[in-house]
Structure 1
Amino acid sequence: MHSEFRWRVFSRQEAVLVLATVVWGATFLIIHIAVQYSGPWFFVGMRFITAGLISALLFVRILKGLTLREIWAGVAIGVMIFLGYGLQTAGLQTLNSSTSAFISALYVPLVPLLQWVVFRKRPGMLTWVGVTLAFIGLILLADPGSVGFTFGTGEIVTIASTVPIALEIILIGWFAGKVHLGRVTVVQLLVAGFLGFLAVPLAGEQVPEFSWVWVIASVGLGLASCMIQLAMNWAQKSVSPTKATIIYAGEPVWAALIGRIAGDRLPPVAIVGAMLIVAGSLASELRPRRRRKTVTSTDVLENAGH
């Protein structure tokens, strides 16, 4: 008796997205280690200048058609990348990678709320459920106990970083269809990197002493951003937004697993809070299909230097 049986957990495209999410999860620990050797703003400058220069080399032919509107779009989005990932990186100086990743996931339910404020697009019921779950999760992640909340500077700065990251997504949705996203991507990465370097003296940072730690980390993340972007653009042509959303929601989970291996330890109540944040992110994204497309966090993944 002969029968052919194929057991496949993921398609090749889905496997690529899972791998990209694992790499994203690992970036939190990588950055946490790197900023012990470099100031956060210098590191952000190195990371995004590298990504921008590599992108410019890869897409040099399409840059010839760069328009003023695309420059404006790239500058606007680049400012949000600079603020969002700059604050996130600053928080990682004192915050462990697991906690940072879960707090950073709050940008997902923030997107529809900010869309409501900016575009008067009323959020659906699932969005409110997601926001509620995420808020409760954030409180539990602070591990409230007899001594009260344990939010420090790292947590506060990381919470603040979710606002510009959410605005970055909204801006990408706003400019989509009006500009060439490839050219805008190059501009936004270069702008984010330039602003990172500009912030070094303003923040009172010093150019760090040479260390292979921050060199390999910043250049490696810049290269990874470009390579993952190309792979994702290929994969998302055949992976549904719903599946992609579920896969991307695993980013903080992977960060926590990698952080655990590196020695991070979250108390049980914080783990429950982290799970609620992930559940809230999923609930706010997995909404019924509507006639008109709304901007979600997955939109940013096609254009951002994550």
Structure 2
Amino acid sequence: MKDKIINPLLLLLTAIIWGSGFVAQSVGMNFVQPFTFNFSRCIVGGIFLAIYIMVMGKGSKKSKKSTEAVFIGGLCCGLCLFGGMTFQQIGIQYTEVGKAGFLTAMYIVLVPVLSTMFLRKKTGIHIWLGVVLAVVGIYLLSISSDSFTIVKGDIYEIICALMFALHILVIDYFNTKADPVKISCVQFFVCGILSGVFMMTAEQPQVQYILAAWQPILYAGIVSTGIGYTLQVVGQRNVNPTVASLILSLESVVSAIAGLLILDQQLTQREIYGCICMFAAIVLAQLPIKNT
């Protein structure tokens, strides 16, 4: 019963952290290129968690089985996280930012479909209605006009959504088999190393520019990555992956509110309706209705 209250709150906190972290990502990209930024923030996040584990995890019992689950789970999560981050960053160069955000958030549709197909997770009708409401809400928040055409960048964003959906499902599978904090730590190093390989081959990283972006990198690395993604892994325990994806999708609402409060941006009536739809979707998905 305690987990049913705390874990969704942890996922909500994750959405708040991610939504408010867009400012740091935007500022960081003024100094360094995408793979360099992802490499830096993932390595910072991994080091941050490694220190936390060493300080807090002394004397903890280990088993060969749990150690294997940590590394296998971390590897799978890291591959999905790298794929999601990479395709999102590539796609956003060829499509509108609003449309990219909408298509990326389509993981909320892919998660219940994939979880039913591969994990045999049942999704109640009220959760499906919540998914539909959330899609409408994200559309109102992300798309500024009624015209919607598919271009090359949109395909990359759809693949990104698939990778993030798989990321949620992989977490759902592994987070009861091993320490979620350790899984999260491994995933950051996997994602960071892969980003580093592409950074060295596709970009020209320069130390002075990385140092110039130290503040957004530290914030994105410790808060958005180290704390945010770890809260996601911990919060998903015993939570239906579809419900988890809906709560995490509130990131788009938080982003809009952060823009209002921090950047003095104004919410249009369309965006206000989008926020209402998103909140209604989360409330509907949390109703204690037995799945059939």
- Cα contact 1:41–1:90 (8 A) shared by 2: no
1:13-32 pair list within 5 angstroms: 21-32=15-26
Q: Residue type of the partner of 2:50?
A: A
- Cα contact 1:25–1:255 (8 A) shared by 2: yes
Shift of the alpha carbon at 1:50? 0.8
Shift of the alpha carbon at 1:47? 0.8
State the partner residue of 2:286.
286
Length-normalised TM-score, structure 2: 0.71
State the partner residue of 2:87.
87
1:164 maps onto 2:158 in alignment: no
Deviations 1:28-78 (A, max 9, x none): 222123223221122111111111112112213459767233211110011
Distance 2:268 2:155 in 1: 19
Q: Residue type of the partner of 2:173?
A: W
Q: Residue type of the partner of 1:23?
A: I
State the partner residue of 1:262.
263
Shift of the alpha carbon at 1:23? 3.2
Distance 2:118 2:133 in 1: 23
Q: Residue type of the partner of 2:115?
A: Q
2:21 is paired with a residue whose SS is helix
State the partner residue of 1:184.
183
State the partner residue of 2:144.
143
State the partner residue of 1:207.
205
* Structure 1 unmatched ranges of 5 or more: 1-12, 292-306
Distance 1:117 1:16 in 2: 27
State the partner residue of 2:126.
126
Shift of the alpha carbon at 1:231? 8.0
In structure 2, the CA distance between the partners of 1:71 and 1:229, relative to structure 1 (3 Å rule), is closer
Distance 2:236 2:122 in 1: 27
Distance 1:278 1:90 in 2: 30
* Structure 2 unmatched ranges of 5 or more: 1-6
1:212-251 pair list within 5 angstroms: 212=211, 214-224=213-223, 225-227=225-227, 250-251=250-251
Q: How many residues align?
A: 274
In structure 2, the CA distance between the partners of 1:117 and 1:222, relative to structure 1 (3 Å rule), is same
Distance 1:127 1:163 in 2: 19
Q: Percent identity among equivalent residues? A: 26
Q: Residue type of the partner of 2:144?
A: D
State the partner residue of 1:174.
173
Distance 2:189 2:53 in 1: 13
- Cα contact 1:143–1:267 (8 A) shared by 2: no
Shift of the alpha carbon at 1:182? 2.9
Residue 58 of structure 1, aligned match among 33, 41, 52: 52
In structure 2, the CA distance between the partners of 1:112 and 1:124, relative to structure 1 (3 Å rule), is same
Distance 1:158 1:125 in 2: 27
Distance 1:40 1:143 in 2: 26
1:40 maps onto 2:34 in alignment: yes
Distance 1:139 1:19 in 2: 22
- Cα contact 2:98–2:143 (8 A) shared by 1: no
- When the two chains are superposed, the root-mean-square deviation of aligned CA atoms in Å is 4.4
1:64-75 pair list within 5 angstroms: 67-75=67-75
Distance 1:111 1:160 in 2: 13
In structure 2, the CA distance between the partners of 1:143 and 1:63, relative to structure 1 (3 Å rule), is farther
Distance 2:137 2:10 in 1: 29
In structure 2, the CA distance between the partners of 1:93 and 1:50, relative to structure 1 (3 Å rule), is farther
State the partner residue of 2:4.
none
- Cα contact 2:108–2:131 (8 A) shared by 1: no
State the partner residue of 1:196.
195
State the partner residue of 2:253.
253
Distance 2:69 2:235 in 1: 28
Distance 1:270 1:152 in 2: 24
Q: Residue type of the partner of 2:203?
A: E
Length-normalised TM-score, structure 1: 0.68
Shift of the alpha carbon at 1:171? 0.9
Q: Residue type of the partner of 2:161?
A: T
